[in-house]
Amino acid sequence: MRRGSSSGRATATRPSSRWSSAISPPRGGATATRPSCRARSPFMCATTTWSAPTEPGCTTATSTSSIIIRRSRAESSRSERRGGRVEERGTGATDMRNWLNGRRDLARVVALGLAMVAVVAVAAQETDPTDGKRAYRFEELTDGVWFATGTGAMTTMSNSLVIVNDDHAMLVDTSVTPAAARKLVAEIADEITDLPIRYVFNTHFHFDHAHGNQIFDDDVEIVGHDYVRTQFLADSPNQRTNRSFTAGTRQQVEQLKERVAAATDASERSQLELNLRITEAHLNALAETRVKAPNVTYNDTMTIVKGDREIQLHYPGRGHTAGDTLVFLPEEKIVFTGDFFVGSPGANGLPYMGDGFVHEWPASLDRLKALDFDTIVPGHGNPFQEREQIDHLQAYLRDLWNQASKLRADGVSAEDAAGRIDLSAHAAHYGDRARSADPRAVVRIYEVLQILHPM
């Protein structure tokens, strides 16, 4: 079912008031910033199918095949002063010279415009490997609330949630790159609603959930925890996490090229070529990414009411990061947890812990338990209803922390400890991933322990 009355694609517009009566400032106060834009251009292109990267804080220009050139009326009708005399346009030989000069100028502008369109088209192809296929699959969880996850046609990495209200839409998490975000917004417009997206929520600062922020105009409310904005502006731990997942992308491309060249089976070669196209497009998309921080922040709870829809933001305490957000719809009894809790039954139920606070996480999960929900929508994996999965993760985290703490006290390095930690007691819930600890998680635990108990 597709909602909305507008005939265009989803666009980014700001509500008429910075703080309307429908949005309550959080208890700890809200902040909003407006970076100045220095990249405005007299050339404007219009569509949402491709967006050229601009500097942070500037509107992203989009284009297909038309370029509108703004020329002032004064410029087109003004007199020209040459050699101490005024020559009025439109008389005799002067008119012919000016006409020819104008034709040459127009030709140059048209050539420039065609070149710009060509660059746009090539860039779009370089970051969109889908070849007309859908990059996202949408599932309506309840009236106007949609779960979005990748189909595999391009690199998306994380889930999103789409909330459709009376005159606008909201998006929870913006995907891994601006290219993936552009595709998400375009497919939302095609399949769900053409109402404008006016609110974006970041569940945390990790790249795979928030590096699509840059495609949204400054008029869109990008909402996140105070810590998310702080990390985006400092960009410190995010760089380590980002690199741990993306640094090998170029090497993957080269390896895939070698495998394509060596493949003798036609079916295998075709699949490898597809994988190569997707990975190359992702590499190009990473290169155009620019971090864009939330322009509205909160530090404990925040409530937004739009028509009959209530959206609550809850900071549960430190867990996956120091700034996780639970997006809770109390009427629908749906909670989007980002990576704070990805407890889908099976191996995918263990979150990344490289920026986590494993010792505090179990207590923070109690705040999730306190919400009156029926459905959990995680940042990775499928929606589920099994609340007992929270208990399983709490037990796993406590066991991991206790074993790592003891090994550190015994003088064992983080790298060796990762191999010694035995989490097989949790294999029934997490499969082979519970056999040993993720080295990145153990390194992080040692970092936190060094702060708590210096050695």
When pLDDT is averaged across residues 291-310 and rounded to a whole number, the result is 97
Cβ distance 48 to 62 under 8 Å? yes
Give how far Cα 194 sits from Cα of 11, 290, 304, Å.
Answer: 8, 26, 21
pLDDT recorded at residue 242: 80
**pLDDT, tens digit (0-9, with 9 covering 90-100), for 216-245:** 999 999 999 999 999 999 865 467 788 778
Sign of CA dihedral 398, 401, 406, 412: positive
Both structure tokens of 9: 């694609």
**pLDDT, tens digit (0-9, with 9 covering 90-100), for 307-341:** 999 999 999 999 999 999 999 999 999 999 999 99
Sign of CA dihedral 210, 11, 281, 63: negative
Amino acid at 178: P
Nearest-angstrom CA–CA distance, 38 and 31: 23
Q: What is the number of residues in the chain?
A: 455
Residue 391, burial from CB neighbour count under 10 angstroms (0-12, 13-18, 19+):
middle
Cβ distance 318 to 361 under 8 Å? yes
Both structure tokens of 161: 């949630």
pTM over 0.75: no
Both structure tokens of 386: 């099994």
Give how far Cα 453 sits from Cα of 86, 303, 404, 448, Å.
Answer: 84, 38, 13, 8
pLDDT recorded at residue 126: 80
Residue 45 has pLDDT above 80, yes or no: no
pLDDT recorded at residue 236: 54
- Pairing mode, if any, of strands 221-225 and 197-201? parallel
The owner of tokens 């834009």 is 37
Nearest to 169 by CA among 149, 137, 191: 191
**pLDDT, tens digit (0-9, with 9 covering 90-100), for 369-413:** 999 999 999 999 999 999 999 999 999 999 999 999 999 999 999
pLDDT recorded at residue 447: 98
pLDDT recorded at residue 4: 53
Nearest-angstrom CA–CA distance, 453 and 155: 41
When pLDDT is averaged across residues 356-374 and rounded to a whole number, the result is 99
Residue 190 has pLDDT above 70, yes or no: yes
Nearest to 141 by CA among 375, 454, 449, 389: 375
Nearest-angstrom CA–CA distance, 120 and 45: 11
- Pairing mode, if any, of strands 221-225 and 296-298? parallel
Nearest-angstrom CA–CA distance, 7 and 29: 37
Three-state secondary structure string covering the chain:
CCECCCCCCCCCCCCCCCCCCCEECCCCCCCCCCCCCCCCCCEECCCCCCECCCCCCCCCCECCCCCEECCCHHHHHCCEEECCEEECCCCHHHHHHHHHHHHHHHHHHHHHHHHHHHHHHHHHHHHCCCCCCCCEEEEEEECCEEEEEECCCCCCCCCEEEEECCCCEEEECCECCHHHHHHHHHHHHHHCECCCEEEEECCCCCHHHHCCHHHCCCCCEEEEEHHHHHHHHHCCHHHHHHHHHHCCHHHHHHHHHHHHHHCCCHHHHHHHHHHHHHHHHHHHHHHCCCCCCCCEEECCEEEEEECCEEEEEECCCCCCCCCCCEEEECCCCEEEEECCCCCCCCHHHCCCCCCCCCCCHHHHHHHHHCCCCCEEEECCCCCECCCHHHHHHHHHHHHHHHHHHHHHHCCCCHHHHHHHCCCHHHHHHHHHHHCCCCHHHHHHHHHHHHHHCCC
Cβ distance 429 to 396 under 8 Å? yes
pLDDT recorded at residue 346: 62
pLDDT recorded at residue 238: 60
